[in-house]
A and B are shown apart, each in its own frame.
Chain A
Amino acid sequence: MTVDVTQFFQAFFEESFEGLAAMESALLNLDIGAADSEAINRIFRAAHSIKGGAATFGFTAVAEFTHLVETLMDQIRSGQRAVTQPDVEILLHSVDCMHAMLDAVRDGSAVNQEQIAAVSQELQASLAGGAIASVATPAAQQSSMSAPKAIPNEKAATNGLWKINFVPLSHLLKTGNDPVRMFRELSGLGALRVAVNDKNLPPFLDMVPDNVYLEWELVLEANVDEKAISEVFEWVDGDCELTIQSPQPTPEISAPPAQKAAVQAPKAATPTTPQAPKTGAPASTHPKSGMKEADKKPVGASSAETSSIRVSIDKIDALVNMVGELVITQSMLGQLGKDFDMSRIDKLLDGLTQLERNTRELQENVMRIRMLPISFVFSRFPRMVRDLSQKLDKKIDLKMSGDQTELDKTVMEKIGDPLVHLVRNSIDHGVETHDKRVAAGKPETGVIQLDAYHQGGNIVISIADDGAGIDTERVLAKARKAGLVKEDETPTHERIVDLIFEPGLSTAEVVSDVSGRGVGMDVVRRNIQELGGTIDVRSVRGEGSSFTIRLPLTLAILDGQLVRVGDQTFIVPLVSIVESLQVKKELVNRVAGKAEVFKLRDDYIPIIRLYDMFGVHPENTLLEEGLLVVVEGDGVRAGLFVDDLLGQQQVVIKSLETNYRRVDGISGATILGDGHVALILDVSGLVKLSKNQGPTPQNDSDLALPRSAAA
């Protein structure tokens, strides 16, 4: 039978990455000297599973490397070796290597061989030196894993009559073994004659039914070696007396034993195939040859991470319950519809309310399926803080709370990098060095606090440190230099702190290895805004900074404000709305006779006439007759001129790109209660559009329809 093992690869990768994460967190929490045995077991088991799977699925390199880790952990587990800091370091590096190797086999990418070789050597050195008990050399271990086991006393296959005397001990059946099955196995090797000896059979009344009293003499005529026969009895070794008598040597080899061995040895040394007995007896064997290549080629689609999700059974059960309720409501309404009269209108309304509740609950629960705890992202931070603080010679405690707070998988995948950047910033620029802290009268160990919690349909993630805080003078100086703040302007503290999100305002004194490379805070903010979220910063000089990120729980649903322009309804994401107001004529100015701005307290805010931008016939063209919805996108404010505000509601986001293409200023569409499509505004895009020009009337000719694929 052929089983395509590649179908199990994805499950293997998923569980291996989970295992690595578990290993890492257990390693980080390991108390040197007083290690918790359950934690050690957990690390061991993870390594053990990865090794087993990797070997089974043909990722030999991964299996061999992991074997070293497993061996080390096994020694710790069995008490042969104490947990030491250097070993923990090596193991942490090993986790990185295993991760890299697994990534490489999954994606078919290259892996840093030197790094792996180096860590592998460290592991071997530690194994060779550290263990009290003797440890086989790594080379030997590896070969014992991957190569067919060499049987030292192996005899060449000999044709003839094998005599086997098999005397089971009385408890043999209790091991689940059965002489009859073994004989069947033997008869597969050749012609078998069985003679039973019942001399030990007790009188019936003395007989214990579970015991074996019989002995057997077997004669097997087969061209096999002794190993093939002893393999049949391998599992009952110790549960029986077994003698296997080889066929009588043929006359020409009836030489002295030493010579006999010499004659037979060459035969034994040239087996035509490795011992992969037909019986499938447990000799170590190579993975199937076809699988060996698996180490080199990509084995899963590169989208392996996103293509499946693990859902806890609780969530599914909740869903099943909900559907059950929905069915009940439906049948109730169905009944009502059969013989309806106006006297039962109350019942109908009740039913509809129930239906609405069922639908809402169902929707919430379906969305919940895509939700994962943020620990998936948080789990990388203990390691990061540890490594970086070591590198920078700082003492930092990382405290985390709310790591079970759930959010949408897609949001999670996209928030990881911004969070890493923020935490790095806190380590690098936030928390001061040891002596600076002492000089400032602060505890020498800095604290970085990561929190996550839900707040009204959003997830809030905050990163706070008790470090130096943002140097507002430096920021202001830089901003002045960059022309972001005029010389005579004295912005508020909040405004200055907010400036760090402007491009090109990284304030690191030294561009260090840790942060200050490539991405800046402007990118962080943009990424968060792309997810429909916001980021705020608060900072007190000398006391620390805190960043607060608010994200929608899911990208599939959005809280929207419905606005009307002419006969069209558009949806403005609530998160980007600052306020809505009716504008007074005298507050509006035309800059350079064209662009309109209005004065909102201290700011001048450009006006975007949506009807103009979108080519819709409006009800009002006079600003004072409609409404201005003040929105903020990419840190820039603008007033959207609309005819009217309609309701607020949650809308399900549909892609325009599935069948059409991206449209500037529009982030998607949704279906309203009446079945019609309404477009969702992309506020940042609109602001950008309005800066460049007015509307962009496009001519038909070159706009190929399904071009969106390329967009």
Chain B
Amino acid sequence: MAKILAVDDSASMRQMVVFTLKAAGHDVVEAQDGMQALEIAKGQQVDLVLTDVNMPNMDGISLIKELRNLVNYKFTPILTLTTESSPEKKGEGKSAGATGWIVKPFSPDQLLATIRKVLG
């Protein structure tokens, strides 16, 4: 069981992600934009961050940069949830410090398979 921070401005996506992760036995905290996520991450250590890229207030890329600057999140796996599968979008996430990505649309099973890759 891991503690996972799920960040997405779309409530339905967030619900699905959160539900899937919880059903798999994980402990999930949710945030609806980068700003909120950053506050949460500062307040408690999570084992994995799943973040959407396009969000109001603070987007996913900025969130990743901020998180990587925190000493506690230097090595924490961060995956982006992205509809963009084009190389430059992935590159943007990666250069900000993302561990990897999951391309939308994904099914609950795919989500779980992907996070298994990064959870120790």
Interface residues of A, Cβ cutoff 8 Å to B: 1-3, 5, 7-9, 11-12, 14-15, 41-42, 44-45, 48-49, 51-53, 55-57, 63, 70, 144, 149, 173-178, 180-181, 185, 210, 234-235, 238-239, 276, 278-285, 287-288
Contact = CB atoms under 8 A, between A and B. Distances in A.
Given A8-B19, A52-B81, A175-B94, 20 more contacts: A1-B112, A5-B16, A11-B12, A45-B54, A48-B54, A52-B52, A56-B107, A57-B16, A174-B68, A174-B74, A181-B117, A239-B94, A279-B114, A279-B117, A280-B110, A282-B102, A282-B114, A283-B103, A285-B107, A287-B105
Contacts of A11: 11-12, 15
B100 A48 contact: no
B105 to A, nearest CB: 4
Contacts of B68: 174
B112 to A, nearest CB: 7
A127 B114 CA distance: 34
Nearest to A146: B105
B75 A235 contact: no
Contacts of A12: 10, 12
Nearest to B85: A284
B2 interface: no
A624 B55 CA distance: 72
Contacts of B102: 282
Interface string B11-50: 1110110011001100000000000000000000000000
Contacts of B114: 279-282
B19 A3 contact: yes
Specify which of A5, A178, A282 lies most central, judged by the most chain B CB atoms within 10 Å of its CB: A282
Nearest to B97: A175
A177 B108 contact: no
Contacts of B118: 176-178, 181
B92 to A, nearest CB: 12
B66 interface: no
A530 to B, nearest CB: 34
A109 B24 CA distance: 35
Contacts of B12: 8-9, 11-12, 14-15, 53, 57
A465 to B, nearest CB: 36
Nearest to A176: B99
A140 to B, nearest CB: 12
Contacts of A288: 107
A9 B19 CA distance: 13
B58 interface: no
B108 A176 contact: no
B76 interface: yes
A49 B10 contact: yes
A239 B99 CA distance: 11
B65 interface: no
A176 B97 contact: yes
Which 7 residue pairs of A and B lie closest in terms of their CB atoms, listed nearest first? A280-B113, A176-B99, A12-B12, A235-B100, A55-B105, A3-B108, A56-B105
B9 A49 contact: yes
A288 B19 CA distance: 17
A42 B11 CA distance: 16
Contacts of A63: 105
Contacts of A234: 100
B78 interface: yes
A185 B117 CA distance: 7
A52 B10 contact: yes
B105 A174 contact: no
Contacts of A5: 16, 107-108
Q: Is the interface of B mostly helix, strand, loop or mixed?
A: mixed
A280 B10 CA distance: 23
Q: Is the interface of A mostly helix, strand, loop or mixed?
A: helix
A314 B91 CA distance: 40
A53 B13 contact: yes
Range class of the B interface residue count: 35 or more
Contacts of B61: none
16 contacts: A3-B23, A8-B19, A14-B11, A15-B12, A41-B56, A45-B54, A48-B54, A56-B106, A57-B105, A149-B85, A174-B74, A176-B97, A176-B99, A238-B91, A279-B117, A280-B106
A175 B15 CA distance: 27
Contacts of B101: 235, 282
A14 B102 CA distance: 24
A623 to B, nearest CB: 62
B120 A178 contact: yes
A49 B13 contact: yes
Contacts of B81: 52
Contacts of B62: none
B112 A56 contact: no
A377 to B, nearest CB: 22
Nearest to A44: B54
Contacts of A49: 9-10, 13, 54
Contacts of A174: 68, 74-75, 97
Contacts of A52: 10, 13, 52, 81, 83, 104-105
B105 A175 contact: no
Given A15-B11, A49-B10, A56-B16, A278 B112 contact: no
A143 to B, nearest CB: 12
A51 B97 contact: no
B56 A45 contact: yes
Contact of B83 (A48, A278, A279): A48
A279 B113 contact: yes
A7 B76 contact: no
A235 B99 contact: yes
A45 B59 CA distance: 11
Contacts of B77: 176-177
Given A5-B16, A175-B97, A51 B113 contact: no
Nearest to B53: A48
B101 to A, nearest CB: 6
A276 B102 CA distance: 13
A210 B106 contact: no
A63 B120 CA distance: 35
Nearest to A12: B12
B120 A210 contact: no
A60 B19 CA distance: 22
A8 B15 contact: yes
Contacts of A2: 108
B11 A176 contact: no
Contacts of B99: 175-177, 235
Contacts of B113: 278-280
